[in-house]
């Protein structure tokens, strides 16, 4: 039986690339989505077409009760997960003086509370399975250096790194690793309308990253070769500090 991995926000962009790459590496993937059932099913279909195993799982990572309910149901039918990729996230950019309370709450609730909402129901089943495991959270270069107009986003992504490092200390003796991957500028919907030529000049490698660049880093952290790496943050940013 293939080891199961949940990828939150796995229907599009970076999440879909991670799901496809981990499926290629032999994991059975649960593709979480919130609204875009069509995109999730397309990701699942693409994985299956290449001989992988995948299914779609609908819940909002910001909704604690929904996470607990749907994950309990999923665990009952499929058993514990070997790994989790916390990729689901959102942004609501604005200069801080003009940032609404709703924009702050929505970003923090999804990006940071989602860490608790998803992982809390899954960690004890992973421990009880006694098979080790992998947890990877997708942070951001904004969580390291900050970014104008992204006080909420930067706070959530910095908190995600700290939470992951703390969780790594708790789970290390169980053989479960927990690491963060912090992408820089990646060609996703988040960059729609951005001045790409100007942004590219800021990157030492002089190119915008691709989703598969992030997926490769996650795949490495899921590999046996990364079994002694935990509590770390891996930047995927073309040298952008």
Site of tokens 């820089």: 184
Q: Which of 33, 81, 82, 153 is catalytic?
A: 153
Question: What are 41-50's pLDDT values in tens digits?
Answer: 999 999 999 9
Of the candidate ranges 28-37, 165-174, 181-190, 212-221, the one whose mean pLDDT is the lowest = 181-190
Nearest 5°: the CA angle 237, 239, 241 is: 85
Task: Enumerate residues 6+ apart whose C-beta is below 8 A from 45.
Answer: none
Task: Enumerate residues 6+ apart whose C-beta is below 8 A from 133.
Answer: 81, 82, 83, 126, 171, 174, 175, 176, 177
Read off the DSSP letter of residue 212: H
Concerning whether 33 is annotated as a catalytic residue, the answer is no
**CA–CA distance from 171 to each of 12, 107, 164, 190 (Å)?**
30, 27, 10, 33
End-to-end CA distance of the chain: 41
Q: Do the beta carbons of residue 160 and residue 112 sit within 8 Å?
A: yes
Of the candidate ranges 66-75, 77-86, 167-176, 187-196, the one whose mean pLDDT is the lowest = 187-196
Rounded to two decimals, what is the model's pTM?
0.94
CATH 3.40.50.720 at 4-236, yes or no: yes
Number of Cβ within 10 Å of residue 212's Cβ equals 15
Higher-pLDDT residue of 140, 201: 140
Domain ranges of the chain: 4-236
């Amino acid at each position: 039986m293939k080891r199961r991995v949940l990828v939150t926000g796995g229907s599009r962009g970076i999440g879909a690339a991670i799901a496809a790459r981990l499926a290629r590496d032999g994991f059975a993937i649960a593709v979480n989505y919130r609204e875009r059932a069509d995109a999730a099913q397309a990701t699942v279909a693409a994985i299956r077409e290449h001989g992988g195993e995948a299914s779609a799982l609908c819940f909002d990572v910001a909704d604690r009760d929904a996470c607990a309910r749907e994950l309990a149901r999923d665990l009952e039918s499929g058993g514990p997960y070997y790994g989790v990729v916390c990729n689901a996230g959102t942004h609501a950019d604005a200069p801080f003086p003009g940032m609404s309370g709703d924009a702050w709450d929505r970003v923090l609730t999804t990006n940071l509370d989602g860490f608790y909402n998803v992982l809390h129901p899954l960690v004890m089943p992973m421990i009880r399975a006694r098979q080790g495991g992998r947890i990877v959270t997708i942070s951001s270069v904004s969580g390291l250096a900050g970014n104008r107009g992204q006080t909420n986003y930067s706070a959530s992504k910095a908190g995600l790194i700290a939470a992951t490092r703390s969780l790594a200390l708790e789970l290390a003796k169980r053989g479960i690793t927990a690491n963060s991957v912090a992408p820089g500028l990646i060609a996703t919907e988040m960059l729609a309308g951005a001045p790409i030529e100007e942004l590219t000049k800021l990157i030492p490698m002089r190119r915008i990253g691709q989703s598969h660049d992030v997926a490769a880093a996650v795949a490495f952290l899921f590999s046996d070769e990364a079994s002694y790496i935990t509590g770390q943050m891996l930047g995927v940013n073309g040298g952008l500090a």
